Amino acid sequence: MISENPRVRFAPSPTGYLHVGGLRTALYNYLFAKHNNGSFILRIEDTDRNRFVEGAVENLISTLKWIGLDFDEGQGKGGDCGPYMQSERLDIYKKYADELVNKNRAYYCFCSAERLTALREEQQKNKQQGMYDKHCLHLSKEEVQENLAKGLPYVIRLNVEKGKQIVINDVIRGVVEFHSDIIDDQVLLKSDGYPTYHLANVIDDHMMKITHVIRGEEWLSSTPKHILLYEYFGWEKPVFAHLPLLLNPDKSKLSKRQGDVAVEDYKAKGYLKEALLNFVALLGWTAGDDQEFYYLDELVSKFDLNRVNKSGAVFNVEKLNWLNGEHLRKKSQIQLLELLKDHLLTTVYKDNSYSDKYLIEVIESMKERVLFIHEIAEKAPYFFETPSGYDEALLKKRWKPETPSQLNKLLERFEKLENSDKEGFEIALKQTVEEFNTGVGTLIHPVRLAVSGIGNGPGLYDILHIIGKDETIKRIKTALNKISI
């Protein structure tokens, strides 16, 4: 348990939708915060105006809300450390960038894009490390003022002190060292007045009192720049934890092309938020025991940052599917009923009306046979409409020449039933079968076919009970008319 109350943040860029990798980062931050009685903050890093996507912020927030990762502070929620949208903090970044310039830990740079590319090409040709050559560091105060007065475009660069060893003590990776000689004089403030990630991130984490920076491994390489910034500002550093990456089946960094990456895609496909959260939590972390099924609150109580893996994890949909089925089966009747009703609204059955009692019976008979709620209607359409045809192969196998006469006998018994109780159908069928001196199978299969059109599903007597005596008789008669062999 961390003694003081930690503060962590999830800081996505509004460049599209919430990525499942982002979801896992958000989840681990959330779990860490909640486990340690801390705060989870949402900050929007919209410093790249070219990549900004309209509506992405709202989308991010609503997706986070759907999945149930509530934040304590942040964009759309408020708090004492706002604004939480970086584009609304531009004056802050400029102020701190200037502070660094005054301390000689950063400097104005007026180099053109042309000079920069020429420099890079030259370095490449000589097989040198591609780095800015500190050309503008040597500009005098007067020259800088002159250029500024002329309105020349400029950036502010970090003045990296060479010859230093920079040490990161990462919770997940242990000690990682970098030499400052290979760290570029990173642009901190862009010519459009916006900060780069590095500057904004460090300033905001400091001002928002972030204690633990939990982010993807792709940031590990730029962490020394951040460390330098903390040192140059004279600020206390947060604890760093770099999470392993989520991978495609071919082990490359998880991307579109090789499957769905947006949380919304999974939502649209009918995945339960509980399953998605459960699955993603296990991609890089285990409690160390054999438990695989978790609800969010259990994850909160068991989560431990020290038990996070170092290596990347392939996002394997098969296991997610299984977990979805597990979570589905654990849901209450009422929850499943709501889920099914919502789904039916999106199908051709949307204008039909089914009683709750009926739908609950359908759910009870089907929930062990599906992984997704939508599979109920797909795998058992006969609960929602009369069969439109009969499985050919099965017909051949189960529908014998003597079947019609046997079914007619069965119908006689069914007609006499007083209600739609399971037992009534069962007794009637068994009596009929005895009369013909054969096994139950000779009638069960043809009846199943007549009533559902297909060969699999819940127990036959359950199906008959659910659709009821009248519908059962009607369907068998229809089948007798339609099927002729």
Partner RNA sequence: GGCGCGUUCGUCUAGUGGCUUAGGACGCCGCCCUCUCAAGGCGGAGAUCACGGGUUCGACCCCCGUACGCGCUACCA
Instruction: Please give the positions annotated as active site.
Output: 256
Asked if 121 touches RNA (CB under 7 A), the answer is no
Q: Which of 310, 330, 341, 397 binds RNA (CB under 7 A)?
A: 310
- The contact mask relative to RNA for 150-169 (x = CB under 7 A, - = no) is ---x-x--------------
Q: Which stretch binds RNA (CB under 7 A): 65-73, 91-99, 138-146, 314-322?
A: 314-322
Residue with Cβ nearer RNA (206 or 369): 369
Asked if 111 touches RNA (CB under 7 A), the answer is yes
- The contact mask relative to RNA for 48-87 (x = CB under 7 A, - = no) is x-xx------------------------------------
Q: Which stretch binds RNA (CB under 7 A): 98-106, 228-236, 244-252, 332-340?
A: 244-252
Question: Residue 130: what are its φ and ψ, rounded to 5°?
Answer: -75, 100
Asked if 252 touches RNA (CB under 7 A), the answer is yes
Within 328-357, the residues that bind RNA by CB under 7 A are 329
Q: Which stretch binds RNA (CB under 7 A): 45-53, 77-85, 383-391, 408-416?
A: 45-53
Q: Which of 69, 136, 187, 261 binds RNA (CB under 7 A)?
A: 187
Within 200-219, the residues that bind RNA by CB under 7 A are 217-219
The packing angle between helices 273-281 and 317-330, to 10°, is: 130
Residue in the block written with tokens 């599979």? 375
210 contacts 41 by C-beta, under 8 angstroms: yes
Q: How many residues interact with RNA (rule CB under 7 A)?
A: 87
Query: Of 218, 209, 279, 207, nearest to 245 (Cα)?
Result: 218
The pair of structure tokens assigned to 291 is 């438990």
41 beta partners: 9, 73
DSSP string, 256-318: TTSS--BHHHHHHTT--HHHHHHHHHTSSB--SSS-----HHHHHHH--GGGB-SS-EE--HH
Asked if 191 touches RNA (CB under 7 A), the answer is yes
List b or e across 274-307, with b for residues whose CB sees 16 or more CB atoms inside 10 angstroms.
bbbbbbbbbbbbebeeeeeebebeebbebbebee
Question: Residue 243: what are its φ and ψ, rounded to 5°?
Answer: -75, 145
Q: Which of 19, 36, 45, 344 binds RNA (CB under 7 A)?
A: 45
Element holding 123 (H helix, E strand): helix 113-125
Q: Which stretch binds RNA (CB under 7 A): 33-41, 92-100, 286-294, 411-419?
A: 286-294
Within 406-435, the residues that bind RNA by CB under 7 A are none
Query: Of 267, 263, 231, nearest to 26 (Cα)?
Result: 263
Q: Which of 38, 244, 381, 453 binds RNA (CB under 7 A)?
A: 244
